[in-house]
Amino acid sequence: MNRSVFRRSPYRSRHGMLLGVCRGLAEHFGVSVKWTRIATLVAVLLTGFWPGLAIYLVAAWLMPLEPLLPMTAEGEEEFYQSYASSRSLAIGRIRRKYDSLNRRIARMENAVTDREFHWQQRLDGNRP
């Protein structure tokens, strides 16, 4: 996967070997996955296995999982970040958007089904 756009935050890759941390960091910074894995292995060995492994697991816990579809619009990454951090906030955001669209549609329906609308069409010579 060639990503020419530099993302604001790194994601865990869905195609990684263990948890996708190394591949996600490599894709974010535009470096080879092989060298990222070698650097991670060296860091784990030099820190005495458990601290390095703990840092890796914390990174896997903090990094959101890579989106399934590539993001094309500006607001999509913001929405994905909000969804990855708090699903209830993202669902609330979707619900507010739905309610707003539903109110707009109801206003349009009221305008179209209003009696004056039909009379205006008849006066203009258009058939309903």
CA distance 123 to 120: 5
pLDDT of residue 6: 44
pLDDT of residue 27: 86
**Domain residues of the chain, as ranges?**
1-69, 86-128
pLDDT of residue 126: 64
Q: Which residues of 86-125 are buried (b: 16+ CB within 10 A; e: fewer)?
A: eeeebeeeeeeeeeeeeeeeeeeeeeeeeeeeeeeeeeee
| pLDDT per residue rounded down to tens, the chain (128 residues) | 444 444 567 888 888 788 889 998 888 888 999 999 999 889 888 888 888 888 888 988 888 877 776 667 777 777 776 776 677 777 888 899 999 999 999 988 887 777 766 666 667 776 55
> pTM for the full model?
0.51
